Amino acid sequence: MSKLGDIKDWVLRANHALTTYYNAPYRAAIARAKRDEDDLFMLLVFSEMMGIPNPASWYTLELQPLLLERFHDWHVRMGMEKSPFDHISCC
Amino acid sequence: MNAIVLAVFGLAVMFTGFFVYSRFVAGKILKLDPDFKTPAHTMTDGVDYVPTNKFVLWGHHFTSVAGAAPIVGPAIAVIWGWLPALLWVSLGTVFFAGVHDMGAVWASVRNKAKSMGALSGDVVGKRARSLFMIVIFLVLLMVNAVFGVVIANLLINNAGSVVPVWGAIAVAMVIGQAIYRFKWNLPLVSLVGVIVLYTLIWIGPQVPVALPETAFGLSDRALWILLLFAYAAVASLLPVWMLLQPRDYINGLQLFVGLGLLYVAVFVAGPTVVAPMINSDVPAGTPSLFPLLFVTIACGAISGFHGIVASGTTSKQLNKEPDARLVGYGGALGEGTLALAAIIAASAGFATFEEWKEVYSSFGGGGLKAFVDGGGTILHAGTGISPEVSATMLTVMAALFAGTTMDTGLRLQRYIFQEWGEIYNISWMKKAAPATLLSVGACLALAFGAGGADGGGGLLIWPLFGTTNQLMAGLTLLVVAVMLVRRKTNALVVIAPMAFILVIGLLALAIQIYDFFGQQKWFLCGLAVVVLVAGVLVALECIAALRKEQHEVAASN
């Protein structure tokens, strides 16, 4: 490999090492924070169906099919063993 | 005598320990197996469990365990002369800290990378787990109180450091936004961040900031302590990516730069050691060298806090089991070199013995002030950086370490209070803000309770903090020992340090209780009694658990 290639390779590796060093200790904390945000978002999307008025429900309704995959994990995490809705029978 | 001799001796002992003793412990006692599949591989999830390059992991372990404590402890302990501190740091790193850290990583890796608290429950028993939690709580309480006082002292001692110390927080927040929101290139952001930080350090001495000596009926030290806790409370409530993560990162970079510069300066300048080898004329009120030296220097010789890091994030990312040697033992060795640098700065950074004696005029009088003043002089002589900027650089390094420990400590303490809220069903305590207030209140009560109305005597709890920290190390060593006994391996290399720190810790506590009682310092006396009760329980648990294991092994034979 040419000298320039060597330097490029070295810079890439240094970048990777530094990025790992920056992220590694906090990956879990950030993933947890992201999950909390996502959970709140799920609540917003499904709020109307649970009797909480939501002025944006016209738009959030469209999102429901996209979030179905995550629905089961979410309701379990929220302390509801079975799906709270009759029409979504994930379990 | 030339300080280079101290540096060479300390480094030679520690590196021999790494190349010879750690190889023996890793190969013959722990029997680290390159074919063993670590949790980073068996449980890979891209979040917690990620196989990581061993050098990166070493950097992370080293910078997570090395903070202000391995500077404060040795710098205080130089009051007894440089030789006892030097011997305890070098030999402690080789036979105690290195084995402890490597053992903790190994124990956790062999048990699905569980944390040391959970492990003490699984391996030893429920009682050990409860004890572990109590000791952790005590350590967190003391570390926050002590570091609040330490940073306040630093800011008063060096008014030029106020701008860079607080400016570093702004730099960290900008880095956090740049990385997390704008996804900028990390090496570039780091470079700019470091340049801005060092520019602030250069500007700092030209714009010194000092609080009025008294305001609202409080001294400047008390005001700084209150301000620092207010900051730590807010910081501990922010999302980690915003401040804690970039701050921790800057600290890591600073540690490598600062430590490197300090050693270069020692070897270039070759300063003369002015502190006595053994100080036979210690100031009145100084406790006896034996056993207090061994608890005054906890971090830098052996510290239980490392066990939390080793079993928290390090073990989940270990690529191969033999990497535990470089990461665990090597991480402890890194901290040993920081403690060694602190000893050299505090014993060779003064022009004359009289000047040294003036700084060490009372127990706890040395500490970080001696490290900053002495280290600043050495840096100036070795690198040509002006004395003010040198001292500011070291002040910022120490204050940032202590500050990050405060953020993290307060956050962890809040989690404990919130967990208690869950367990005992106290609804207000489950919320973040009241739990943080409770944590801050407890720490402030300790800082002012122990240190008087202006918090000035807060450093008196330093040896108590060291003892508690070592009790935690004792529990970690117990977990490793029980696992080894179960495997029918000779566990002497683990049991001997465990027995040593427990006996010394209990002895030191008894002496401190006697002293505090005599001086009618009731608050400190009460605190020492609480730690003593925890210590006796830890010692009994160690004896009971090991005897039970040995009986079971004998029965199975």
| Contact assessment for residue B134 and residue B340, using Cβ atoms and an 8 Å cutoff | no
Instruction: Find which of A21-35, A59-73, B88-102 is predicted with most confidence, using mean pLDDT.
Output: B88-102
Binding-site residues on chain A for chain B (CB distance < 8 A): 11, 14-15, 17-22, 24-31, 33
Per-residue pLDDT averaged across B471-496, rounded?
93
**CB distance from B404 to chain A under 8 Å?**
no
- Taking 90 as the threshold, does the pLDDT of residue B337 lie above it? yes
pLDDT (0 to 100) of residue A50:
82
**CB distance from B187 to chain A under 8 Å?**
yes
| Contact assessment for residue B89 and residue B10, using Cβ atoms and an 8 Å cutoff | yes
Q: Residue B48: phi, psi to the nearest 5?
A: -85, -45
> How many Cα atoms occupy the beta-carbon half-sphere of B30 within 13 Å?
35
**A27 contacts on B by Cβ (under 8 Å):** 47-48, 50
pLDDT (0 to 100) of residue B456:
65
- Taking 90 as the threshold, does the pLDDT of residue B441 lie above it? yes
Q: Over chain B, what is the mean pLDDT?
A: 91
Tens digits of per-residue pLDDT, B448-483? 887 677 766 667 888 899 999 999 999 999 999 999
Taking alpha carbons only, the member of B260, B264, B262 closest to residue B252 is B260
Taking alpha carbons only, the member of B450, B416, B442 closest to residue B229 is B442
Task: Break chain B into its structural domains and give their ranges.
Answer: 3-556
Chain B residue nearest residue A26, CA to CA: B245
> Given pLDDT bands bounded at 50, 70 and 90, which one contains residue A1?
low
**CB distance from B183 to chain A under 8 Å?**
no
**A21 contacts on B by Cβ (under 8 Å):** 56, 59-60, 249, 252
Chain centre to alpha carbon of residue B347: 21
The Cα of B397 is separated from the nearest Cα of chain A by a number of Å equal to: 19
| CA angle, A54 then A56 then A57, to 5° | 70
d(CA B307, CA B105): 8
Taking alpha carbons only, the member of B352, B317, B386, B271 closest to residue B7 is B271
| Contact assessment for residue B102 and residue B26, using Cβ atoms and an 8 Å cutoff | yes
pLDDT (0 to 100) of residue B113:
92
pLDDT (0 to 100) of residue B13:
98
d(CA B100, CA B115): 15
Strand spans (E) along B183-254: 214-215, 218-219
Taking alpha carbons only, the member of B338, B145, B169, B146 closest to residue B256 is B338
- Taking 80 as the threshold, does the pLDDT of residue B33 lie above it? yes
- Taking 70 as the threshold, does the pLDDT of residue B75 lie above it? yes
Tens digits of per-residue pLDDT, B213-240? 877 878 888 999 999 999 999 988 888 8
pLDDT (0 to 100) of residue B287:
86
> Given pLDDT bands bounded at 50, 70 and 90, which one contains residue B497?
very high
> How many Cα atoms occupy the beta-carbon half-sphere of B246 within 13 Å?
27
Angle of helix B432-451 relative to helix B387-423, nearest 10 degrees, comes to 120
Range with the poorest average pLDDT among B79-88, B185-194, B400-409: B400-409
Chain B residue nearest residue A20, CA to CA: B56
**A21–B48 C-beta distance less than 8 A:** no
| Contact assessment for residue B11 and residue B340, using Cβ atoms and an 8 Å cutoff | yes
Tens digits of per-residue pLDDT, B415-432? 888 888 888 889 999 898
- Taking 90 as the threshold, does the pLDDT of residue B520 lie above it? no
Tens digits of per-residue pLDDT, B373-415? 999 999 999 999 999 999 999 999 999 888 888 888 888 888 8
Tens digits of per-residue pLDDT, B144-182? 888 898 899 899 989 999 999 999 999 999 999 998 888
Write the class of the CATH domain B3-556.
mainly alpha
d(CA B478, CA B555): 21
pLDDT (0 to 100) of residue B321:
97
d(CA B30, CA B108): 12
Residue A79, Ramachandran bin (φ over 0: left; ψ between -120 and 50: alpha; else beta): left
List the single residue in A15, A22, A24 with the smallest CB-CB distance to B313.
Answer: A24
**B55–A25 C-beta distance less than 8 A:** no
d(CA B511, CA B183): 55
The percent of residues in chain B predicted with pLDDT above 90, rounded, is 60
pLDDT (0 to 100) of residue A70:
87
> Given pLDDT bands bounded at 50, 70 and 90, which one contains residue B58?
very high
Give Cβ neighbours of residue B455 (< 8 Å, ≥ 6 apart). B148, B149, B152, B221, B222, B225, B447, B448
> How many Cα atoms occupy the beta-carbon half-sphere of B486 within 13 Å?
10
| CA angle, B369 then B375 then B380, to 5° | 130
pLDDT (0 to 100) of residue B67:
81
Taking alpha carbons only, the member of B345, B340, B343, B344 closest to residue B372 is B345
Per-residue pLDDT averaged across B15-42, rounded?
96
Q: What is the dihedral of CA B431, B436, B437, B441, to 10 degrees?
A: 140
